[in-house]
């Protein structure tokens, strides 16, 4: 059974930094591209970033480009999202999601971790 | 910010059929990119419901069906049940944004 377990969320001041982790199990992590998707309180889903199987290819939504960095450690089956210069509008539940091979979509989602940016 | 447009809400009585539309543009659905649907029940993470326009992952009942035409797509739920209540999001890929895009979301209410 695929399991994706996010951690690292919490309360951070505007301008601060935070690193999220997503521990994967139940599948061959190194064989799948991975993503981060977020959901602001009471709002819809917003794709944040993706990373290729080897980690050499990354893409970001314009809203986080230059402030967030996605990475992965295939030896630890873990996905990361390093967030810098956080803003109030970054407040959201952050989900890690596994890409469905052959399709531009996500077939497994974690339970999410809440990031709150507030003074 | 959402690139794909959905109706805010749809409702129906138990057993009825409801449909949710998803309208995109020439840089996403109209470019040939597939449409996928995700279901988010209250207080839970999203779950893939339909992929590749009309395919159901293992375990998804055949009450759920999807279709795509031109720059739009739709999700149909037949035999509506109380535990279908939740939010439904269409999703695709956009070549102008070079990223994944979601619909605005539709809340399904069972009367």
Q: Give the pLDDT confidence of B27-67 residue by residue, as tens digits.
A: 999 999 999 999 999 999 999 999 999 999 999 999 999 99
In this model, does residue A3 exceed pLDDT 80?
Answer: yes
Question: CB of B57 within 8 Å of any CB in chain A?
Answer: yes
How far away is chain B from the Cα of A73, in angstroms, using its nearest Cα?
A: 23
**Residue A59 with chain B: CB contacts under 8 Å:** 98-99
Q: Do residues A91 and A41 lie in contact, with contact meaning Cβ atoms separated by under 8 Å? A: yes
Interface test with A, best of B4, B8, B45, B95 (most A CBs within 10 A): B45
Average pLDDT over residues A14-25: 98
As a whole number, mean pLDDT of residues A91-105 equals: 98
Q: Nearest residue on chain A to B100, judged by CA atoms?
A: A47
Whole-number average pLDDT of chain A: 98
A70 or B2, which is more confident = A70
pLDDT score of B91: 98
Are A45 and B89 within 8 A, CB to CB? yes
> What would the mean pLDDT of A91-109 be, rounded to a whole number?
98
pLDDT at residue number B76: 98
pLDDT at B42: 97
How many Cβ atoms from other residues are within 10 Å of residue A8's Cβ?
16
Mean per-residue pLDDT for A108-113?
Answer: 98
Strands B9-12 vs A68-73: parallel, antiparallel or unpaired: unpaired
User: Which pLDDT score, from 0 to 100, does residue B97 have?
Assistant: 93
CB contact under 8 A, A46 and B34: no
Contact B45 A109 (CB under 8 A): yes
Residue A89 has pLDDT above 70, yes or no: yes
CB-based contact B45 A95, cutoff 8 Å:
yes
Contacts of B22 (CB under 8 A, 6+ apart): B4, B5, B6, B29, B35, B72, B73, B74, B75, B90, B103
| pLDDT of B1 over the 90 cut | no
Asked if the model's pLDDT at residue B2 lies above 90, the reply is: no
**Share of residues in chain B with pLDDT > 90 (%):** 97
Beta-carbon separation of A44 and B104 below 8 A: yes
């Amino acid at each position: 059974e695929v399991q994706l377990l996010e951690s690292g969320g919490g309360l951070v001041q505007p301008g601060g930094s935070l690193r999220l982790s997503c521990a994967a199990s139940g599948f061959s992590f190194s064989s799948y591209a991975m993503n981060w998707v977020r959901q602001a309180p009471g709002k819809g889903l917003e794709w944040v970033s993706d990373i290729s199987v080897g980690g050499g290819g990354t893409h970001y939504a314009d809203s986080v480009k230059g402030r967030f960095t996605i990475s992965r450690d295939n030896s630890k089956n873990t996905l990361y999202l390093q967030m810098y210069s956080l803003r109030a509008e970054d407040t959201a539940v952050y989900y890690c999601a596994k890409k469905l091979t052959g399709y531009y979509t996500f077939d497994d989602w974690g339970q999410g971790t809440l990031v709150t940016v507030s003074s | 910010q959402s690139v794909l447009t959905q109706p805010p809400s749809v409702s129906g009585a138990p057993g009825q059929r409801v449909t949710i539309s998803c309208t995109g543009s020439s840089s996403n659905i109209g470019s040939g990119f597939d449409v996928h649907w995700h279901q988010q029940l209250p207080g839970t993470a999203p779950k893939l419901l339909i992929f590749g326009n009309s395919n159901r992952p293992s375990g998804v009942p055949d009450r759920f069906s999807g279709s795509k035409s031109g720059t739009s797509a739709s999700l149909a739920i037949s035999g509506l049940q109380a535990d279908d209540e939740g939010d439904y999001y269409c999703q695709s890929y956009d070549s102008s944004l070079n990223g994944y895009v979601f619909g605005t979301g539709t809340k399904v209410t069972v009367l």
